[in-house]
Chains A and B, each alone.
Chain A
Amino acid sequence: MTSETSDEIRDAFRRAVPIILSASPFGVLFGAVAVDNGLSMAEASLMSLTFFAGASQLVGVELFSHHIPAWLVVLSIFAVNFRHVLYSAAIARHIAHFSLLQKLVGFHVLTDPQFAETERRGESGIRVSFVWYIVLGLTIFVPWQLLTILGAYLGNLIGDPQAIGIDVLMPIYFMGLVLGFRSRSNWLPVVAASAAGSVLAMKFVGSPWHVSLGALAGIAVAALMPLNGDAADDAVSGGLEKEA
């Protein structure tokens, strides 16, 4: 193993730590809620293995118990996960050099934090190698599976997530990810538009559509902003993008 590769592996491990810490209560919560809603432990595990997308897993198991038609459950899962379309479009420039198999495997572990870390690494001018990408992905994937099983064992022991304060961890974690991109051009107008859009959409359309609609508001602002003037910023902060 070259020292470059071991540096990449070490970096991926280091970045996975806060991700696992903030996601772990939700892995346990998912396992517990799943069993509580009548899924077997095997079914809960199968979901964690094949979805690997926490929010949609929780939405999915919540709907299982309500006698909702299967197609509507699947549509809800799709709606919650729709943001990944934007993720895979945005990281295309950083992972274009992966082989087809590497891409097909890599997309399965494309979670919110995986996307944010990949964007940040690519933006800082470092080549996003498959080794770095997959080590980060698997370091989140494996604990997620174990936490699901743990939650299914614990069942209802967790009780109210608010009582132990875990409900604030995920929003704070996402806020931290947003802050990590604050050197990008138009960051503040994009964040303001997305925040306003998501809150309005939640009020008038409902969850989970607030994610897609809020995101579109922010993206539209970025696309409509004057292009001249931020080219210089991009050269400094964006570093080597697709021209490189």
Chain B
Amino acid sequence: MEEVFHAQTLVIIFFGAVATYLTRVGGYALISRMERIPPRLEAALNAVPAAVLTTLAAPAFLTGGLDVSLAMLVALLVGLRLSTLPMLAAGWIVVMAIRHFIG
């Protein structure tokens, strides 16, 4: 019978979970110790969403292949006007169409 838990795996999961939780608490713990936030730090914090989320999308655009790039371009144009769901639908349709009809 297959074992439900393995010791080595459990150790990795435990420390991985702790490391993950620490990253989620860490920034808050640091910033909440400051009495006031200097303007340049505030400007930096304001840039966090665009700065981090871009790094999760940009590499796929440049290295994911022409089909992925085209799908993302179409989704970008859709996204300038419409919300996330139409973006996802448009990008998915484009990438599936290219893969089926062009290969």
Contact = CB atoms under 8 A, between A and B. Distances in A.
Contact of A96 (B32, B55, B87): B32
Contacts of B2: 40
Contacts of B79: 175-176, 179
A56 B16 contact: yes
A103 B24 CA distance: 10
Nearest to A237: B46
B27 A187 contact: no
B50 A78 contact: no
Contacts of B16: 47, 50-51, 56, 60, 73-74, 77-78
Q: How large is the interface on B (under 10, 10 to 19, 20 to 34, 35 or more residues)?
A: 35 or more
B95 A178 contact: no
A87 interface: yes
B55 A194 contact: yes
Which applies to chain A's interface (DSSP): helix, strand, loop or mixed? helix
A39 B6 CA distance: 8
A83 B12 CA distance: 20
A170 B41 CA distance: 29
Given A22-B88, A46-B13, A89-B31, A172 B75 contact: yes
Interface of A: 17-18, 21-22, 39-40, 42-43, 46-47, 50-53, 56, 60, 64, 70, 73-74, 77-78, 81-92, 95-96, 103-104, 107-108, 110, 112, 115-116, 119, 162-163, 165, 167-179, 181-182, 184-187, 190-191, 193-195, 197-199, 202, 210-211, 214-225, 227, 230, 234, 238, 241-242
Interface of B: 2-6, 8-17, 19-32, 37, 39-64, 68, 71-72, 75-76, 79-80, 83-85, 87-88, 91-92, 95-96, 99
27 contacts: A18-B85, A18-B88, A21-B88, A40-B2, A50-B16, A50-B17, A64-B9, A78-B20, A86-B48, A88-B26, A90-B27, A107-B28, A168-B68, A170-B60, A172-B88, A178-B49, A178-B57, A198-B55, A198-B59, A214-B54, A215-B51, A216-B51, A217-B51, A218-B55, A222-B47, A224-B40, A227-B39
